[in-house]
A and B are shown apart, each in its own frame.
Chain A
């Protein structure tokens, strides 16, 4: 069964600093991987997704993630953090187009002024 592990339930970075949120996956087949963001009391917003095309995926709001099969990782990065990036971030995996999507436990990103 597929699963994702997000290292660090809380990450704090200074405004303007690099954001790095870690995600490792486990899957018996080539996975489809996603990063979602959730603001308080709101639903999920897709940041980006990997679907076996380019390994470096660019998403919205300046975020990007790189799929590394050898490391079974799909870490999320942003060169320069903004205060508005403070939110909960979820990495997720599915094994086929219509299969269930499984979420990691989430990482809360704090932006320090």
Chain B
């Protein structure tokens, strides 16, 4: 149980285009979703926290207009990378707190390559 399905698993896009990444909670309601970014051979850096029905909270240094987060329902949170550039190429992972027990469930990640 407590599965977060993340899509796509990988995407290649051209510079200047936008890419949307979806995270769906399959068997529970995710009122909160955390979005992380991971550069090659580095750790996961928290980008933002989204809460259903309200604006996302972004970490310092993360561009709100660049990384649009929407959490319109209890089962879907999306991250849109707008006007993507090669430096946005990274591994993006979403995570939600478990509703039973303590811990977190993670999506399988999205490898974004901007060419």
Contact = CB atoms under 8 A, between A and B. Distances in A.
A-B complex is real: yes
A78 interface: no
Interface residues of B, number: 22
B94 to A, nearest CB: 10
A106 B41 CA distance: 9
Given A97-B102, A101-B95, A43 B46 contact: no
B43 interface: yes
Interface residues of A, number: 21
Contacts of B36: 103
A61 interface: no
Interface in A59-105: 90, 94, 97-98, 100-105
A28 interface: no
Interface in B72-107: 93, 95, 97, 102-104, 106-107
Interface in A13-62: 32, 34, 41-44, 46, 49, 51
Nearest to B91: A41
Nearest to A32: B102
B112 to A, nearest CB: 13
